Structure 1
Amino acid sequence: MVLYIPPSKPDQIPVIDLSATHTGDVQACQKAVAEIRKAALDTGFLYVCGHGVPDQLIQDQFAWSKRFFELPLAERMAIHLYQSPTRSGYEPMAGQALDADSPPDLKESFYCGEELLADHPFAMASIRGFGHNQWPASLPGFRTQMLAYHAAIKGLGHHLMRLLALSLELEADHFDRYFTMPMANLRLIKYPPHPAHAAFNQIGAGAHTDWGGLTLLLQDQSGGLEVQDVHGTWLAAPPIEGTYVVNLGDLIQKWTNDIYRSNFHRVRNGVSGSDRYSVPFFYSPNPDALIECIPTCQGPDRPPMHAPCTCQAHMDSRWKETYGKL
């Protein structure tokens, strides 16, 4: 069983430099792995720098996101996500309620997933996030940028899963077989300034945990992201130039038998006075991957705490919770 260390009470989310993990520097890689393990035990959140995603690609991603949301509403609604069998496309304002006990979220968004030919088995099965992407007709270049960014950030997700495996005293390639055809969904989100007339507890994104494997988040300079620590205190996760915010999702918590944390977080765009843009990327296992307790995370004193489930079954259940339908 992996040695369990009780969570500490951090006053901020750590920034972890991944530079040496790309070079084969074993000592520096071990340092990063230890830092990842501590963050996974404490809040399930960390920043990463030295991630290898080109800065220009990141800046272009923000620019194209803004162009999309500047399109007339009729053009965005023409690619409404429920017109796609795999739920790719535009989600209008207040289309989702992440906190089931609160009003709908004050945000609008766009989803796209793995681009596949129509005859691919995953596309034919209408598995959410595979094939059937919808693209705005009046925005040439948008599709090219989204797919380029999707490919780059998927590579970072793969790298982080290998580091996570090392942090669990597993071989680096332990999770590789679960991510040969990952559920890899890219989302663009626009949050308006928090309105004075908002309903009670209605914010940009209500308190929630993420559903899948890893979330890799780009956020602009507006601020507003908060993370709950193990004691219930909300920690600010402000923008830091050149970093991604990375957090663990529900499936990592299931895999690790609740040792690593999928943690509550929320967004309230109440300070900037302007629109807030973010670009989360959700990197999750293959749809048919069976998620069951990792052997090193169980023992006589810690039996498995979750029933095995497939990634797709879990993700469908969470989608239905937040949208009311599949």
Structure 2
Amino acid sequence: MKTVETGNGVRVMKNGGLDPNRISFDQIPIIDLEPMFTGDAAAKAQLAADLRRACTEVGFLYIRNHHVPQAVIDATFAAAHHYFALDDDAKMANHVTLSRNNRGYAALLEENTDPTARGDLHESFDIALDVPADDPDVVAGKVLYGPNQWPAGQPDFRAALEAYHKAMLTLSGRLLHAFALALDLEEDYFDALVTKPLATLRVLHYPPQFGEIDDRQIGIGAHSDYECFTILAQDSVSALQVLNTAGEWIAADPVPGCFVVNVGDQMARWTNDLFASTIHRAINRSGRERYSIPFFFGPNYDTVVEALPSCVDDEHPAKYPPISSGDYINGRFAATFAHYGKDTEAKA
């Protein structure tokens, strides 16, 4: 049996090779998000029940009727294709080591999500909430806040990513309302905790892998996400795999018109592990380039993440000590990125 170290402890998976089991998509449920836009109370209640079941039993789901315009999604994929085709010097001009707050470009193998592995076979570009350098939180040294950096002479790239980030913030608000209802809380319970969220948008490029593959070096190694939830847009290339409770890898192939959503470690802590933060990985053996767009959504830097009142009782005491959102994410980034937290005082 293999194990994966996460921010919430060690997980176990079977040594099942690189091939996922192909199962019908209804085993990774599809949730219709329309009730969160229409305001129908009965429909919201049904959605909340469906979401609760998906988050407790699977930790992964697809969402449809998310109201994000397809044009915004298509423009971001097109921007990613163009950007990652640039030469290495152009991309390295905005390397993450030039940012105090982990914004910009990272090359192949610079991220290592699985500590037992040898680096992830993808390249990425990250932005987050764009916070001015003179903002009090930035001045105070809360390094997850700060300005984005952008490649010179690429205005379409910036416009596409900023539009996508804005759309994801709106969608995340709707999703967070659904999560609150699924947890027997008031719909707006989380609103005051996400006024300045740690919300990171990443565009990813996975080159194809051919021949015999070392499972210690794949597109992205086995891991759980750190924030409350992730909203993922996939292109047509299948690569995402989800670890089920039997320790088997299940394919989470692209579904037209849907995003993939998965529970992150912070939501698992908030819910006292009622909601499952599920291990997943990506292996691109399609023979084609793969592009994906994850959006990682978490609460404000100073929000204290501790077991919610609806998730603890005498039989289910809190499993995790309280921790601020910023401290938690900083710790996970330090474990994942070789450059993170080093010489930050010298960076602009």
Same fold (TM over 0.5): yes
CA pair 126-60 structure 1, distance change in 2 beyond 3 A: farther
Percent identity of equivalent pairs: 39
1:285 is paired with a residue whose SS is: strand
Aligned to 2:162: 147
CA distance in 2, matches of 1:240, 1:125: 43
1:28 aligns with 2:64: no
Deviation string, structure 1 residues 113-153 (Cα, Å, up to 9, x no partner): 11122211233345344332111103122212211111111
8 Å CA contact 1:88–1:129 kept in 2: the answer is no
Letter of the structure 2 residue corresponding to residue 32 of structure 1: L
1:292 aligned residue: 306
How far 1:200 moved relative to its partner? 4.2
- Aligned residue for 2:266? 251
| Corresponding position of 1:4 | none
Name the structure 1 match of 2:14. none
- Residue 86 (1) aligns with residue 101 (2): yes
**Residues of 2 paired with 1:197 and 1:17: CA distance?**
40
* Residue type at the aligned position of 1:192: P
- State the partner residue of 1:219: 234
Determine whether 1:173 maps to 2:188: yes
Amino acid in the other structure paired with 1:120 = D
Please tell me the residue identity of whatever aligns with 1:219.
Q
**Aligned partner (choices 244, 247, 268) of residue 232 of structure 1:** 247
Contact 1:254–1:306 under 8 Å retained in 2: yes
- Farther off after superposition, 132-141 or 114-123: 114-123
- CA–CA distance in 1 between the matches of 2:142 and 2:236? 34
Q: Which residue of 2 aligns with 1:40?
A: 55
Whether the 8 Å CA contact 1:48–1:244 is kept in 2: the answer is: yes
Structure 2 counterpart of 1:6: none
Q: Relative to structure 1, is the Cα distance of residues 11 and 26 closer, same or farther in structure 2, using a 3 angstrom cutoff?
A: closer
Matched, 1:96 2:111: yes
Q: Contact (CA 8 Å) 1:129, 1:185: kept in 2 or not?
A: no
Aligned to 1:274: 288
Unmatched 5+ stretches in structure 2: 1-24, 342-348
State the secondary structure of the residue aligned to 2:61: strand
The amino acid across from 2:166 in the alignment is A
In the TM superposition, what is the alpha-carbon distance from 1:54 to its structure 2 partner? Answer: 0.6
Instruction: Specify the code of the residue in structure 2 equivalent to 1:108.
Output: E
Aligned-residue RMSD, C-alpha: 1.4
The answer on whether the counterparts of 1:12 and 1:236 sit within 8 Å (CA) in structure 2 is no
TM-score of the two chains, using structure 2 as the length reference: 0.88
Q: 1:29 deviation in Å?
A: 1.5
Q: Distance between the aligned counterparts of 1:323 and 1:268, measured in 2?
A: 20
Structure 2 residue aligned with 1:303, among 296, 300, 317? 317
Q: Which runs of 4+ in 1 moved over 2 A?
A: 122-132, 195-201
How far has the Cα of 1:217 moved from its partner?
0.3
Query: Quick one: structure 1 residues 253 and 200, their matched pair in 2 at CA, closer, same or farther if it must change by over 3 Å?
Result: closer
Q: Does residue 1:135 correspond to 2:155, yes or no?
A: no
Amino acid at match of 1:92: A
Choose from 23, 27, 47 the match for 1:12. Answer: 27
Contact 2:144–2:326, Cα closer than 8 Å, also in 1 = no
The range that moved more, 244-253 or 139-148, is 139-148
Letter in 1 for 2:105: Y
Could you tell me how far apart the structure 1 residues matched to 2:188 and 2:175 are? 11
CA contact (8 A) 1:103 1:199 kept: no
Structure 2 Cα separation of the partners of residues 208 and 128 of structure 1: 23
**In structure 1, C-alpha distance between the alignment counterparts of 2:200 and 2:137, rounded to whole Å:** 14
Q: Distance in 2 between matches of 1:71 and 1:144?
A: 18
Q: Give yes or no for contact 1:89–1:111 (8 Å, CA) kept in 2.
A: yes
User: Does the CA contact (< 8 Å) of 1:42 and 1:229 recur in 2?
Assistant: no
Indicate whether 1:115 and 2:97 are aligned: no
SS at match of 2:293: strand
* 1:191-236, Cα deviation, whole Å (9 max, x unpaired): 0001436544311010000001110000100011011112212111
Q: Deviations over 1:84-138 (max 9, x none)?
A: 0111100001111111111101000000011122211233345344332111103
Structure 1 unmatched runs, 5+: 1-9
- Measure the CA separation in 2 of the matches of 1:83 and 1:318: 20
Query: Is 2:210 the partner of 1:160?
Result: no
Question: Displacement, 1:167?
Answer: 0.4
How far off is 1:294 after superposition?
0.7
Deviates more, 1:65-74 or 1:114-123: 114-123
Aligned residues: 316
Matched residue type, 2:290: R
The answer to whether the Cα contact below 8 Å between 1:12 and 1:235 also exists between their aligned partners in 2 is no
